[in-house]
Amino acid sequence: MQAPVDTPPLLAAPRGGPLWRRKLVNRVMTGLIVLAFVVALIPLFSLLFEVVKRGLPGLDWEFLTGTPRGVVGGGGAAHAIVGTVVITGVTAIISVPVGILAAIYLTEYGEGRLRRWLTFFVDVMTGIPSIVAGLFAFALFAIFLGPGIRLGLMGAVALSVLMIPIVIRSSEEVLKIVPNHLREASYALGTSKWRTIVKVVLPTAFAGLVTGVMIAVARIVGETAPLLVTTGIVDSINTNPFEGRMQNLAVYAYSEYRTPGVMKQASYDRAWAAALTLIAIVMILNVVARLVYRRYKTEIR
Amino acid sequence: MESSQATGAPPLTAAGPQRRWGDRVFAGLTVGSGVTILALLAGVALFLLIESLPAASASPAELPEGKTLVDYIAPLAFGTILAATIAVLIAVPLAVAVALFISHVAPRRIVLALGFLVDLLAAIPSIVYGLWGIFVLGPAAVPVLEWLEQKLGFIVFFKGPASATGRTMLVAGLVLAVMILPIVSAVCREVFTQTPRKLQEGALALGATRWEMIKMTVLPFGKSSIISGSMLGLGRALGETMAVTIILSVSGIVTFNLISQANPSTIAANIALDFPESSGLAVNTLIASGLVLFAITLVTNLAARAIISRQNIQ
């Protein structure tokens, strides 16, 4: 980051003169810029405040351990918490190897047309709307397994479309800053290229890779739309991504809001509690990711 | 890279052939991942197309609402573009100012923390924005909507009658603006900080104030980043689903009235609302609308990337 350039002090200007007017414009514009920043952060603080205020009442033991199965107007979100963990886990299992290997291709091997195409289309992929990713996974499975199909795995495939480009981008960044002299030193010892990558490049970049993956997970853990069309809505615990519907926290929050039971307020409370849980997960992932990077990053000189 | 590759293949030793074998497998794996990703992207277009075909060839009577496919999707496309346009119009000036604040105005010591705060806006799940929009921002916006109807009701956008719940296009656009602000601002910030220092110092040395320096050096230098950032933001806003699904009260009409209870839906919101309860051709119709959304966002993103890559070459 570049140091901000400060305005040199100007001599006191006569009121109403051209210099005075220029300084006034400068003051006003600076004020507007600061104001814009404050305005941009109001939603963040309002949102965090409201989520905590409205989410805490519903966040009790029953919410964390119960399910709505056979309970009228009550129950908890255990099935959604389990579903979130399973779906996110499967997504990571698919996306992390593919993403990191593709990033290795781009930084270590890539040349010519394939490299150019891949760089370009990864950028394009980051812009795919999440609902479109969901429809893709649905279409893919519906063609082979019939249109009524809903699986945890389908959700994971949809989320992988969203997660892979994020993993590639962040991994590429950290692999790029591994200095070339480390690679050359390894080659000089007679080490082959792939062992150099596995034993020298990846360990050097390890903290950055972990950070990137955690931030990518944080981005997809709260997705709703793609799962609405692929994993469906269900009210009991399902740990098998290959069979049956599965719920995640975001879809749970949506369905509690959308179809509140007899006790409307209790449903809304649970929707807010789910929102609070999600935000907590996202924040923890973001903060821990940055701590990991600070604590374990290899000093590169 | 080239020289390192040459040193990467050591002369044949006892372990030589074995090592080359490992090299081949590993290189194959990485290339395979790259090809998989390209295939995945092609698959997205292909499978959406296959599943859309039944809706394209069906007669209007079989489709939802008894309309032709084009008549069904057109109002949704209108709503999608309207909501995204409002979002971009609100977000871009704010995002540019936020980027300038972080790159040129804020004290250096707190720049990192401020950047983190702005990034947090991007990390919040869209479902949470939706709940916040309908329970907090919507009700808070009602007096503003009423004021707009009374004072500016002669403008087509604010004709009213003002919604009593705040579930309007304007509020949905506002929430979308908050959601895309971080990405627009991040793209601008990156280029603003790269403004050549000699230009900035030159401007200051000639007696320019800080704002004049920004106006004469930073903004012209970052112009294409503002455009490309806006288009990336536009792409995000076009495809954003849950916030709009929750906030907007839809009636399927086509109107520029931004503050009333009757609003056009968006493609993404319509899919999220109808898909769980649909079957048969209705599903194919929704997938066809998804394909249209995919095409719109693809064009937007390609344009943005083209601008970015041209500016990188310069």
Higher-scoring residue by pLDDT: B20, A28 = A28
Residue B113 has a pLDDT of 85
Q: Which pLDDT value is given to residue B5?
A: 44
Top pLDDT among B33 and A11 is at B33
pLDDT band at B12 (very low <50, low <70, confident <90, very high): very low
Whose structure tokens read 């401007």? B203
∠ CA B237-B255-B134, rounded to 5°: 50
Among residues of chain A, what percentage have pLDDT more than 90?
Answer: 54
Reply yes or no on whether the pLDDT at B18 is more than 60.
no
Looking at per-residue pLDDT, the higher value among B313 and B81 belongs to B81
Q: Which of A98, A139, A142 is nearest residue B33 as measured by Cβ atoms? A: A98
d(CA A142, CA A136): 10
Average pLDDT over residues A182-190: 92
**pLDDT in the model for residue B2:** 40
pLDDT at B245 (0 to 100) = 92
Tokens of B173: 């656009």
Indicate yes or no: CB of A46 within 8 angstroms of CB of B136: yes
Contact A51 B301 (CB under 8 A): no
pTM here is 0.88
Which tokens is A88 given? 């996110």
Identify the CATH class of A59-296: mainly alpha
Q: How far is CA B267 from CA B166, B238, B272, B273, in A?
A: 21, 9, 9, 10
User: Is B25 in CB contact (< 8 Å) with chain A?
Assistant: yes
Predicted complex ipTM = 0.88
Q: Which of A109, A105, A70 is nearest to A237 (CA)?
A: A70
Band (pLDDT 50/70/90 cuts) for residue A4 is low
Alpha carbons A16 and B285: distance in angstroms, whole number: 65
User: How many residue pairs from chains A and B have C-beta atoms closer than 8 A?
Assistant: 318
Q: Grade residue B146 by pLDDT with cuts at 50, 70 and 90.
A: confident
Which of A42, A136, A163, A167 would best serve as a mutation to test chain B binding (most B beta carbons within 10 A)?
A: A136
Give residue-wise pLDDT tens across range A97-128: 999 999 999 998 888 888 988 988 898 898 89
Cβ–Cβ gap A254/B232 under 8 Å? no
Tell me the backbone φ, ψ of residue B15, rounded to 5 degrees. -85, 0
Q: What span, in angstroms and rounded, lies between the C-alpha atoms of B73 and A171?
A: 39
Smallest CA-to-CA distance from A59 within A274, A298, A290 is with A274
Q: ∠ CA A46-A49-A50 to the nearest 5 degrees?
A: 85
Find the mean pLDDT for residues B187-201.
Answer: 91
**Residue A171 CA to its chain's centroid (Å):** 14
How confident is the model at residue B145, as a pLDDT? 86
A189 pLDDT more than 90 = yes
Say if residue A133's pLDDT is above 90: yes
pLDDT band at A250 (very low <50, low <70, confident <90, very high): very high
Q: Which has the higher per-residue pLDDT, A206 or B65? A: A206
Residue-level pLDDT at B10: 47
B9 has a pLDDT exceeding 60: no
Tell me what the pLDDT averaged over chain A comes to.
Answer: 88
Q: For chain A, what is the HEC assignment?
A: CCCCCCCCCCCCCCCCCHHHHHHHHHHHHHHHHHHHHHHHHHHHHHHHHHHHHHHHHHCCHHHHHCCCCCCCCCCCCHHHHHHHHHHHHHHHHHHHHHHHHHHHHHHHHCCHHHHHHHHHHHHHHHCCCHHHHHHHHHHHHHHHHCCCCCCHHHHHHHHHHHHHHHHHHHHHHHHHCCCHHHHHHHHHCCCCHHHHHHHHHHHHHHHHHHHHHHHHHHHHHCCCHHHHCCCCCCCCCCCCCCCCCCCCHHHHHHHHHHCCCCCHHHHHHHHHHHHHHHHHHHHHHHHHHHHHHHHHCCCCC
Q: Check pLDDT > 50 for residue B7.
A: no
Portion 13-42 of A in contact with B at CB < 8 A:
22-23, 25-26, 29-30, 32-34, 36-37, 39-41
- Distance between CA atoms of residues B133 and B165, nearest Å: 11
Interval B161-167 mean pLDDT: 82
pLDDT, tens digit (0-9, with 9 covering 90-100), for A140-180: 999 888 888 889 999 999 999 999 999 999 999 999 989 99
Query: What are the extents of the domains in chain A?
Result: 18-57, 59-296
Write the CB contacts of B297 (distance below 8 Å, at least 6 apart in sequence).
A127, A128, A129, A132, B235, B238, B239
Q: Which residues of B touch A129 (CB under 8 A)?
A: 238-241, 268, 293-294, 297
% of residues, chain B, pLDDT over 70: 93
Residue-averaged pLDDT of chain B: 86
Between residues B154 and A35, the one the model is more confident about: A35
pLDDT at B312: 64
